[in-house]
Amino acid sequence: MTKSEELSQIALKAGEILLGRGWRLATVESCTGGWICQVVTSLAGSSDWFECGLVTYSNTSKATLVGVPGSVISSYGAVSGEVAEAMVSGALERTDASVAVSVTGIAGPGGGSEEKPVGTVYMAWQFPGGVAASERFHFHGDREEVRRQSVTTALLELARRAEAIPG
């Protein structure tokens, strides 16, 4: 199985879970640049469970499109759990989606720091009736590999977390 086929299988599983719950997904992506959205929309039938995808690469777009407060960005940095959580909450407030996933990180090769080295990625998920929950990850490899691992993890965790909610 190729890496692309693997991503499609993971997205398909997530989609089946969301569809079974009657939930619709919004994605808010920074360092992955719409890759999650691309994987999801490549699946026939994804229109039954996918609402929209936003690429909020700049700080301005994070504020304008999903309402991330400038104070949160300046206090914690664009690559932080707080920003990832604000991204999913903002997406749910502004769309007809019931579930959201966000990704913000440093794919490299530059841009890292001692505190947040290249490969640092924050993701957040929010489900109906719940609050946003974020997690920090550190991936290794070149820019494409960090991004691919981010997409894979975001979809795997989406499926795992959705499945864990009693329903």
- What's the alpha-carbon Rg for the chain, to the nearest Å? 15
Q: Do 9 and 1 touch, CB atoms closer than 8 A?
A: yes
Provide the domain count of the chain.
Answer: 1
Task: Give me the CATH number covering residue 73.
Answer: 3.90.950.20
Structural domain boundaries, residue 99: 3-164
Q: How does pLDDT run across 83-140, given as a tens digit for each residue?
A: 999 999 999 999 999 999 999 999 999 999 999 999 999 999 999 999 999 999 999 9
Q: Taking residues 32-48, what's their average pLDDT? A: 98
Q: How does pLDDT run across 59-91, given as a tens digit for each residue?
A: 999 999 999 999 999 999 999 999 999 999 999
Query: First vs last Cα of the chain: how many Å apart?
Result: 32
